[in-house]
Amino acid sequence: MGHIPDDPAPSYEESVSSRPFSGTDSKHAPDFQPAMPLAAQLANTRTRRINAILETYVDPLLISQGVAGLYKTIFILVPSTVSSLQDAVSNAYTQPPEPQVVGFPANEVVKLIRLKGEEYAMEFWRQPAVVAELESSMKARLVSSGHRMFEPSDVPAVNPEPSPKVQETRKVGFWGKIRGRGVNDDEIEDRKLGWRAEEPQAEGSPGRIPTGLVKVSVQWKEIALRIANDMGLYESKRGPALCIVVEVGT
């Protein structure tokens, strides 16, 4: 007779009647991490991409602006999915020349940046929340490096001129008009001469940036480029782009 083991294997009935798996059994439940809320994911993605574009493109250009002694520079950021403003097709024998930005005054310095990669697609950067955080992040970086920002609220309010009194309309003869013509009429006509109206902005006037302050603005604009095609001929192309203006008060 063979040896009977002290701990025999359970029978089929015993195996079937054993306790089933329960979702509350932490010993066998898979270890799933709770997903991050969608709002937090969006905020993290937005902040990460904005920091990347500032560190990679904008910060070096700001340094070059200071080295060049430029008080105002316009940075044009073309999203990667705006195909009309991207490079023309090149081959091993030809290299397309740099595009020419048109539509800006000749005395303004414009830097063109054509972005590459899915993270720089227009679908992401055209969102108002992204544009607002891009501007606020730029200002925060400048403030942390010792700059003082200029805001429209920094300009003292100017009391509006009282509206002219409405006078009763009455018929006046030709000589009456000549005799009744006052000094105010001459002043109004002088202001319409164009070149006489162009005077340098005084300190504290609306629109003028005080000395030492920095103004930053970010907005979408339609820009035009002259891009060389595969035949070497220039073609005018239009498309949306992010325009970042950095100006230092003088």
* pLDDT for position 82: 92
H or E stretch at 68: helix 59-68
Give the 3-state secondary structure percentages of the chain, helix then strand then coil, rounded to 5.
30, 20, 50
Predicted TM-score of the model (pTM): 0.62
* pLDDT for position 36: 82
Number of neighbouring beta carbons within 10 Å of residue 238: 14
Task: Point out the residues of the chain with pLDDT beneath 50.
Answer: 16, 26, 183-200
Q: Which of 228, 225, 229 is nearest to 238 (CA)?
A: 225
Residue 217 phi/psi, 5-degree rounding, is: -140, 140
What is the tens place of the pLDDT at every residue in 30-56? 555 567 899 999 999 999 999 999 999
What is the tens place of the pLDDT at every residue in 77-86? 999 999 888 8
Report the relative pairing of strands 109-114 and 72-78 from DSSP bridges. Answer: parallel
Q: CA–CA separation, 52 vs 113, rounded Å?
A: 14
Asked whether the beta carbons of 220 and 242 are under 8 A apart, the reply is yes
DSSP string computed for 129-193? HHHHHHHHHHHHHHHHTT-EE--GGGSPP-PPPPPPPPPPP----HHHHHHT--HHHHHHHHHTT
* pLDDT for position 191: 39
Cα-only R_g, the chain? 34
